Structure 1
Amino acid sequence: MYRRVVRCLLSIVMLTSLAVAGNVAMAGTARADGCYTWGRSLSQGATGEDVRQLQIRVSGYPAYGAVLALDGSYGPATAAAVTRFQQAYGLSADGVAGQQTFNKIYELQDNDCTPVHFTYAELNRCNSTWSGGAVSAAQARANALVNMWKLEALRHALGDRPINTSSGFRSSSCNSAAGGSATSRHLYGDAIDLTGSPTFCQIVQRARYHGFNEILGPGYPDHNDHAHLANRSTRFWSAPSCGI
């Protein structure tokens, strides 16, 4: 009889412990997402594909004149970008990507991994296959995704005012028809032309903080009617009418 009572008590204790542990695990796990779900908190020293996926989404927060490497390694630059992202959205800003940070990202993205205010379709008015450019279709599409997250950061910094894209990826034939340069970054899928409000000068001035190495605008030849943002290996900013 005594042993039976002891076994019963032990069973109750074990079940209670499991229930508590389950609640703790659920409390510390960010909700699932249709695009990508992070399964652990990330901080300096972490490596892996989950880090690279995070870097894509905070690539618009590298600080003035910088570009965040998408290398899957959580170093000081990634921690700083995460901190700026957290500050931008009023989160606890500690440079550690945990549940709160991931949940904000989930709110900001659609199930195809694009940010809620931009789509693949508007970054590619040339053809639906993303082919015919200077890189593979897959790479052009991947480049466009990174640019969309940078645009999302730029849009938020400009007061969440809509910004309109007029051109993104171009195949060689589309680029030729548009009168684009033979070395245009549009051929790589990592260039965007923007029109409408905010003003072109507001766009290019603010874009310097959001990971674009190529910024062209009013005062630069053939760029008085749009703002051009792109990525390249070296910095080239020119918008003389805007003080750049």
Structure 2
Amino acid sequence: MFSDFLGMLALNVAPDSAATASNACFTWTRTLAPGATGNDVTQLQIRVSGWVDTGETLDVDGIYGPATAAAVRRFKAGYGLQNTTGTAGPETFALIYSLQDDDCTPAHFSYAEFTGGCGQTGFSGGAVPAATVRQNLLLVMWQLEALRHKLGDRPIVVTSGFRSVSCNRQVGGAPDSLHLYGRAADLGLSSRPTQCQLWRTARTCGFKELLGPGYPGHDDHVHVGNRETQFWRAPSC
């Protein structure tokens, strides 16, 4: 599953024993291990949400349980860290800081990529408040960052992110589309990986909704999203 991991990152930081580094977006002030709870656990879960096993989804609930520990282990191994325990300390946080911008988005994705289409300039007019859309998109972006890295750090192009109700209607989206909530993204043909590479690898990134080639209306993109129950379809893959 992790044979395609490239771009390993060497970090000259202390072992995962106590949190010391800081960051403009969010600063962890303690080492996190199974049993920990709180907003700092939630922030960690968002950033490792794409490092699950095939078909799994990490609950972003602020509770550091076995699934979070497993995701942390995969995250650290995926970037070549020597300490691959399920504990998150300064080495883990330094890696996260190196991967994110000051608004908490991962370095290779931005909110601006998810506002395009229908003349939209923000996140209003959807099924939930704009602040909720932004939070939902942050999770999607970190899952996409994991997908990008697992594919050898090859660029991924987002062709559709958030849609207002009117925009969704204009493009013929489903009335209950995850795009209305900021919980989905469409990945275009100009992405460096092939559609089937995107779809197959996305199965290890925590997405419950995956649609690709061969599924009606999806021969020109791969759709990834976060829903309650699993729905994967790509007959041509």
Same fold per superposition (TM over 0.5)? yes
The structure with more radius of gyration: 1
2:193 corresponds in structure 1 to 198
Q: Which residue of 2 is the match for residue 4 of structure 1?
A: none
Counterpart in 1 of 2:162?
A: 169
Instruction: Determine if the alignment matches structure 1 residue 226 to structure 2 residue 221.
Output: yes
Q: In the alignment, which residue of structure 2 is the partner of 1:21? A: none
Write the deviation string for residues 88-124 of structure 1: whole angstroms up to 9, x where unpaired: 0111100100010000000000000000000000012
1:107 and 2:102 correspond: no
Aligned to 1:214: 209
Quick one: which amino acid aligns to residue 234 of structure 2? Answer: A
What do you get for the CA RMSD once the two structures are aligned?
Answer: 1.3
Matching residue's letter, 2:165: S
TM norm structure 1: 0.87
Question: Could you tell me how far apart the structure 2 residues matched to 1:109 and 1:157 are?
Answer: 17
Map of 1:131-150 to 2, 5 A cutoff? 131-150=124-143
Identity of aligned pairs, percent?
Answer: 58
Structure-1 separation of matches of 2:145 and 2:213:
22
Structure in which a larger fraction of residues adopt helix: 1
Q: Which string of whole-angstrom CA distances, capped at 9 and with x for unpartnered residues, describes residues 153-205 of structure 1?
A: 00000000001000000000111111111111100101100012211100000
Structure possessing the higher relative contact order (Cα contacts under 8 Å, 6 or more residues apart): 2
State the number of aligned residues: 217
Equivalent runs, 1:72-111 vs 2, <5 Å: 72-91=62-81, 92-111=83-102
TM-score w.r.t. the length of structure 2 is: 0.89
State the alpha-carbon separation in 2 of the partners of residues 235 and 28 from structure 1: 37
Distance 2:160 2:230 in 1: 21
Q: Post-superposition shift, 1:32?
A: 1.2
Preserved CA contact (<8 Å) 1:30 1:102: no
8 Å CA contact 2:115, 2:122 repeated in 1:
no
Unaligned 5+ runs, structure 1: 1-23
SS where residue 30 of structure 1 aligns?
Answer: coil
1:121-140 → structure 2 map (5 Å cutoff): 121-126=112-117, 127-140=120-133
